[in-house]
Amino acid sequence: MNRKQVDDWIAAYEQVWRTPGTDALVTLFTEDASYSQGPYWTPVVGLPAIARMWEEQRKGPDEVFQMTTEIVAVDGDTAVSRQEVRYGDPVDQEYRDLWIMRFADDGRCRSFEEWPFWPGQQPANPPEGS
């Protein structure tokens, strides 16, 4: 994978999220892909399970959001990107998210792991000087 291929994949991911149904997931993920919504979450495995998770997680294909992306690194079949997603108009929810993606030879993702963060998420007792 190179940066352009990863950028194209992320653009396709956003487009599929904005598209009714889940049939297009086959263009993004391998049949046996794993998708983890957080570093300690149990991965969702397989295209049918990922499709169910998508339908449960999104409000619908017409959900209002803006997503900006910065590709942090690409090394062989692995890429890391940083997303900022703002939901609503006006914005009522936002996330910053790291994605770790491992790709199959055909350019589809075989392993997807999110590290989501949102405003106010910090330790109860931050260290001095924070």
Q: With a cut of 60, say whether residue 46 has pLDDT above it.
A: yes
Q: Is residue 125 part of a domain?
A: no
pLDDT on residue 119: 75
Whole domain around residue 110: which residue ranges? 3-117
50 by Cβ neighbours in 10 Å (0-12 / 13-18 / 19+) ranks as buried
Domain count of the fold of the chain: 1
**What pTM, to 2 d.p., does this model score?**
0.87
- Asked, for residue 129, whether it belongs to a domain, the answer is no
Is residue 130 predicted with pLDDT exceeding 60?
no
Tell me the pLDDT band of 127, cut-offs 50, 70 and 90.
low
**Residue 128 counted as domain residue:** no
Residue (of 114, 110, 130) closest to 122 by Cα position: 130
Residues 3-22 have a mean pLDDT of 94
